[in-house]
Amino acid sequence: MHPLSGVYAAAVTPLKADFCPDLDAIPLLLDYLARRGCHGALLLGTTGEGPSFSPEEREQILRAGLQVRAAHPAFHLLAGTGTPSLSETALLTRRAFELGYDGVLVLPPYYYRQAKEEGLLAYFSALIRQAVPADGLLFIYHIPQLTGIPLSVGWLKRLQAAFPRQFAGIKDSSHDADFGRRLGEGFGEELGIFTGVDSFFLAALDLHAAGCITAPANLISPDLRRIWDARRAGEDAAALQARVSAIRNVLEKYPPFPPALKALFARQGAFPRWPVRPPLADLEADRTEQVAQELAEYGF
C-alpha cells in the first residue's frame, strides 16, 4: 500500500472575526477529524482557502497543525503549497518539509492557462529539484475546473519517469470518471491516486486508488472510513457508497464548500461559526437552514 493511503479531510481553516487564522482552533479541528476516522488531513487546499493566505500566514497555519501529533502521532499531514509563482511555491514547499509534513499537494501554476505541457514539466521539475528532499513526497492537485489546466496521463507518466521517488501521486478532483479510470489503468498502484470526489470513492478503490482527500470528509469521515474498512475486508460497500454519494450531491448544491461546511459545523455545535475570508462570503441563514434540512434525512 501507498505509505500515505487512507481517508483524508481537505480541512477547513478556522478563522477569527477579523479573518485572521484561529491558530488555537486548528489542532482542535484536526483532533476532531482524527477521532472520526480520518487517517490524515490536507491543510490549505481549496476547502482550506489556501490561495487566500500569505506565505507567513500559511506557515503559521502549518505550525499550528503539527500540534495534533501530540495526541495522534500517526495522523498524516499534507500541506497545500501551490501558487502561480515558482519561487513562492518552492519556499512554501521547503518550509512544509522542514516542519515535518508528510507530503505536499501542489496546484499547477493557475494563472497562465495556455501554458504548454513542456512549460508545466519544467515548472514541476524545477520545484522538485529546488524544494523536495530525496525522501519527500509531492502530489499534484488536479482540479482543472478551477485552475483551467487539465493534465494528461501521458504528461503524468513523463513526470513520474523523471522523478520516480519524489513524485508520489495525484489528487484528482476533476469530476471526470473516465479520467479516473485511465489513471487507475495507467498507473495501478505505482502512483498514489487519491480521489477528490466522494461519489467516486469505491470506484477509485476498485482501480487501486490509495484513498480519498475530500471536502465533505470534514463532516462524513466516519462514512468514508467505513467504506475504506469494508473494502479492505473484502466486504460489500455499495450501500455505504450510495449514502456518501447522496450526501455529496446535497452539498454540491451549495457551492463553494468552505462556507457551507463552516455553517454546518456551527449548526451541529461542533465548533463556533468560523467565517470565510473574502472574496468568499458566509452562507446565508436561509440557505444554511435549507441544507441542514436536506441533510437531516441522513442523520445530520
Residue 86: inside a domain: yes
Contact 7, 218 (CB under 8 A): no
- Decide: helix, strand or coil at residue 68: helix
**pLDDT tens digits, residue range 183-196?**
999 998 899 999 99
Which whole number is the average pLDDT over 24-37? 98
Residue 282 one-letter amino acid: D
How buried is residue 245: exposed, middle or buried, by Cβ count under 10 Å (0-12/13-18/19+)?
Answer: middle
Which whole number is the average pLDDT over 141-157? 96
Residue 115: inside a domain: yes
Average pLDDT along the chain:
97
The domain total for the chain is 1
Domain that holds residue 221: 6-296
Residue 53: inside a domain: yes
pLDDT band of 269, cuts 50, 70, 90? confident
Question: Domain holding 168: CATH number?
Answer: 3.20.20.70
Instruction: Provide the whole-model pTM.
Output: 0.97
Which residues participate in catalysis according to the annotation? 46, 111, 141, 171
Residue 206: inside a domain: yes
Contact 260, 251 (CB under 8 A): yes
- Alpha-carbon Rg of the chain, whole angstroms? 18
Residue 1: inside a domain: no
**pLDDT tens digits, residue range 198-239?**
999 999 999 999 999 999 999 999 999 999 999 999 999 999
Residues ≥6 apart with Cβ < 8 Å to 105: 42, 45, 78, 79, 80, 81, 82, 139, 140, 141, 171, 213
Which whole number is the average pLDDT over 146-172? 97
Per DSSP, the chain holds a count of helices (H) and strands (E) of 12, 8
Where are the alpha helices (H) located in the chain, listed in sequence order? 25-35, 55-65, 86-99, 117-131, 144-147, 153-162, 177-187, 201-206, 217-232, 238-251, 257-268, 285-296
